[in-house]
Structure 1
Amino acid sequence: MQLNGQSRWSERAMGSIYSGFRSTFGVALLVLGVALGASGCTTPASTTASTPSAVNSTATLPSWRDGPAKQTIQKFVADVTREGSPNYVPPAARIAVFDNDGTLWSEQPLYFQFAFMLDQVKAAAPKHPEWKNNPAFKALVAKDYGALASLQKQVLQLIAVANSGMTVDDYDKTIRDWLATARHPKFNRPYTELVYQPQLELLAYLRANGFKTFIVSGGTIEFMRPWAEKAYGIPPEQVIGSSQVVQYQMHDGQGTLVRQPKIDFVDDGPGKPVGIYRNIGRKPILAFGNSDGDLQMLQYTASGSGPHLALLVHHDDAVREFAYDRTSKIGKLDKAWDEAIADGWTVVSMKDDWQTIYPAPKQ
């Protein structure tokens, strides 16, 4: 059963004129709640199981403008959490999955992990002269975003070779060090500050209502796990992504895991439902994506026999973020958009539905 009930999305999706920028002063109301969630302080199962109805979203979703998208989310959460409702879902089955790139944080002009990879590959290039004829290496060096988008598996393989032989702990430190100094070329802010404030609020709102929230991303688990809990309140064990082969080895009498020059699993497109099945073992009842790479995850969620909600972010705000969809080389939204319109999925307009995009810069 689909609980969207929206008839305006095809009209809104094809529209080209939206309301201008409006600031919000209500974001501060959620700061404490997000901070608690980021510390891993989620609601215990014993508490959520007895919650008779949804936590009110008026105060907890201040960055969402009142409209069909917010109302759909509110109604869905109320329906599945109200005991006695024909659509009631027990807390254990309240699984929500979110894509990361373009859904929880920005992804333009280049996937943030690819920016990290570019630095790593450049550093390793002198040891690999054979890369000069590698199309993925050429695309990275040239910052050919279109080629990179079509060569994602080859790019992942390149970085697997570049960082093979490192322990997982050393690689974790490399990622943390890069994130501490790297800045986005447009906003001149740390990449981890370019998370979406409305989505932080939604994650906290869902957890307050007994949902378990997961990241399901084409990015690698190694890249996301070092910072996802602090940024989103999602612990490492709830991060599902592409992965590299690791091998257990003994070094100086200590057991450690060492990265091998081979990709183990690509969690994108049709790989996402596989990753969900392998790592969660339950079909989600809510899925949120932004591109064709999320299509199969949304289809899988929408195929459930019980209540479900499929959502897409439409990047249509060139002033506050970026505007792109059908022809974009990064985060292309084409087939998934068509299916959203045909099947009544909820399309969230970044420009129309979000009062603000990013949290306030850290002082």
Structure 2
Amino acid sequence: MKPLILLLALAASAPHLLADELLPSWKDTGPKKAILAFVEKVTKEGSANFVPVPERIAVFDNDGTLWAEQPLYFQAFFVFDRIKALAPQHPEWQTQEPFASVLKNDLKGVAAAGEKGLLATMAATHTGMTTEEFSQTVTDWITTAKHPKSGKLYTEMTYQPMLELLTYLRANGFKTFIVSGGGIEFMRPWTERVYGIPPEQVVGSSGKLKYEIRDGKPVLLKLPEIELIDDKEGKPAGIQSHIGRRPLMAFGNSDGDLQMLQWTTAGAGLRFALLVHHTDADREWAYDRQSHIGKLDKALDEASAKGWTVVSMKDDWATIYPGEN
């Protein structure tokens, strides 16, 4: 049976499965037990903790929570590949930073350009085209591009335990959303195929759009102006603007998710917050407080203080990526 078909079959029967048959890639440790116990409480009709289906909202960060994020966010690799593809049209990039560093694969030089340099690369690769053109560019890239270390397609570096969790929650009446610092137009072309999350349930950083008529047809043009940075304090704002309900469950992995978890757990009644802690240097990466990507410091302390669930990838996940033991 193909993996997707198997997951759908599990989803259909999830309410009737025994606990050890649910979330099979999760070890039978505290985090799995906490998830199953919470879902049972809020979905049991007649109980004091019952939550109606329309209010069962679960939000997930993407980078480092649903798929890997080292040594750089995957959208950064997309930006780099686009700069290299467009370089013949921009000879000035050979000497103009941070483009020159990108073309030389000099990550330190790219980092030295700071936020201003980052915004310049985003403007060069993400704007000045229609939303349809950008969506096709992303689709073409993510269908073939491979991670420089693992050699896997980026979509093969999703976390099997989280794919099972998404399926399990939806089988129990939850609507699952991505709330990520990544670009909303970068994620929407592929999240439904990879996660089962449709584009209207994706919240991310976004730029302004402009309506135009081109060749007699209406289009939306991507502009080099920021609408929302969906990170840190921006995540609760993005949730309110796009979803309009406070989540019942929130899942993240870094300090960039702290405010989303705080906002979720501040709601009335039972709430659930979980952090994915990258502790497995053999099967993935091990990093937290000192990492330049996915730094987990303040959120880890708050999780300890407030009793949020923390998943150790090494200790709590039997499998990391799909198709691996």
**TM-score, reference length from structure 1:** 0.81
- Out of 28, 44, 51, which is 1:82 matched to? 44
- Out of 219, 227, 237, which is 1:256 matched to? 219
Q: Which amino acid aligns with 1:110?
A: L
Aligned to 1:360, the other structure's residue is in SS state coil
Is residue 108 of structure 2 the alignment partner of residue 144 of structure 1?
Answer: yes
Quote the Cα distance in structure 2 between the aligned partners of 1:319 and 1:108.
14
Quote the Cα distance in structure 2 between the aligned partners of 1:181 and 1:30.
20
Query: Given that residues 20 and 28 in structure 2 are in contact (C-alpha distance below 8 angstroms), is that contact kept between their aligned partners in structure 1?
Result: no
- Residue 180 of structure 1 and its aligned partner are, at CA, apart by 1.8
Is residue 132 of structure 2 the alignment partner of residue 169 of structure 1?
Answer: yes
| 1:334–1:241 CA distance, 2 compared to 1 (3 A) | same
- Residue 155 of structure 1 and its aligned partner are, at CA, apart by 1.9
Quote the Cα distance in structure 1 between the aligned partners of 2:74 and 2:109.
12
- Out of 263, 278, 298, which is 1:300 matched to? 263
Query: Given that residues 291 and 331 in structure 1 are in contact (C-alpha distance below 8 angstroms), is that contact kept between their aligned partners in structure 2?
Result: yes
Identity %: 55
- Out of 185, 192, 196, which is 2:155 matched to? 192
- Residue 76 of structure 1 and its aligned partner are, at CA, apart by 0.2
Aligned to 2:180, the other structure's residue is in SS state strand
- Residue 183 of structure 1 and its aligned partner are, at CA, apart by 0.8
- Residue 341 of structure 1 and its aligned partner are, at CA, apart by 0.8
Aligned to 2:25, the other structure's residue is in SS state coil
Query: Given that residues 64 and 198 in structure 1 are in contact (C-alpha distance below 8 angstroms), is that contact kept between their aligned partners in structure 2?
Result: yes
- After superposition, where does 1:6-85 map in structure 2 within 5 Å? 31-34=4-7, 56-85=18-47
Aligned to 1:226, the other structure's residue is in SS state coil
Quote the Cα distance in structure 1 between the aligned partners of 2:109 and 2:263.
29
- After superposition, where does 1:258-273 map in structure 2 within 5 Å? 258-273=221-236
- Residue 139 of structure 1 and its aligned partner are, at CA, apart by 7.2
- Residue 319 of structure 1 and its aligned partner are, at CA, apart by 0.7
Is residue 92 of structure 2 the alignment partner of residue 119 of structure 1?
Answer: no
Which sections of structure 2, spanning at least 5 residues, go unmatched?
none
Count of residue correspondences: 321
- After superposition, where does 1:313-332 map in structure 2 within 5 Å? 313-332=276-295
| 1:90–1:316 CA distance, 2 compared to 1 (3 A) | same
Tell me whether 285-294 or 252-261 shows the greater mean CA deviation.
252-261
Quote the Cα distance in structure 1 between the aligned partners of 2:33 and 2:269.
20
Q: How big is the alpha-carbon RMSD for the aligned residues of Structure 1 and Structure 2?
A: 2.7
Is residue 244 of structure 2 the alignment partner of residue 287 of structure 1?
Answer: no
Tell me whether 103-112 or 181-190 shows the greater mean CA deviation.
181-190
- Residue 59 of structure 1 and its aligned partner are, at CA, apart by 2.2
Quote the Cα distance in structure 2 between the aligned partners of 1:83 and 1:187.
45
Tell me whether 90-99 or 58-67 shows the greater mean CA deviation.
58-67
Partner of 1:16: none
Quote the Cα distance in structure 2 between the aligned partners of 1:312 and 1:265.
24
Quote the Cα distance in structure 2 between the aligned partners of 1:223 and 1:71.
34
Partner of 1:227: 190
Q: Which amino acid aligns with 2:255?
A: D
- Residue 161 of structure 1 and its aligned partner are, at CA, apart by 3.3
| 1:89–1:194 CA distance, 2 compared to 1 (3 A) | same
**TM-score, reference length from structure 2:** 0.90
Aligned to 2:38, the other structure's residue is in SS state helix
Q: Which amino acid aligns with 1:238?
A: Q
- Residue 279 of structure 1 and its aligned partner are, at CA, apart by 0.5
Query: Given that residues 326 and 334 in structure 1 are in contact (C-alpha distance below 8 angstroms), is that contact kept between their aligned partners in structure 2?
Result: yes
Partner of 1:14: none
| 1:306–1:137 CA distance, 2 compared to 1 (3 A) | farther
Q: Which amino acid aligns with 2:194?
A: A
| 1:128–1:289 CA distance, 2 compared to 1 (3 A) | farther
| 1:188–1:145 CA distance, 2 compared to 1 (3 A) | farther
Quote the Cα distance in structure 1 between the aligned partners of 2:43 and 2:116.
40
Query: Given that residues 54 and 82 in structure 1 are in contact (C-alpha distance below 8 angstroms), is that contact kept between their aligned partners in structure 2?
Result: no
Quote the Cα distance in structure 1 between the aligned partners of 2:260 and 2:109.
24
Quote the Cα distance in structure 1 between the aligned partners of 2:34 and 2:321.
22
Q: Which amino acid aligns with 1:97?
A: V
Query: Given that residues 157 and 261 in structure 1 are in contact (C-alpha distance below 8 angstroms), is that contact kept between their aligned partners in structure 2?
Result: no
| 1:180–1:31 CA distance, 2 compared to 1 (3 A) | closer
Q: Which amino acid aligns with 1:32?
A: I
Is residue 313 of structure 2 the alignment partner of residue 354 of structure 1?
Answer: no
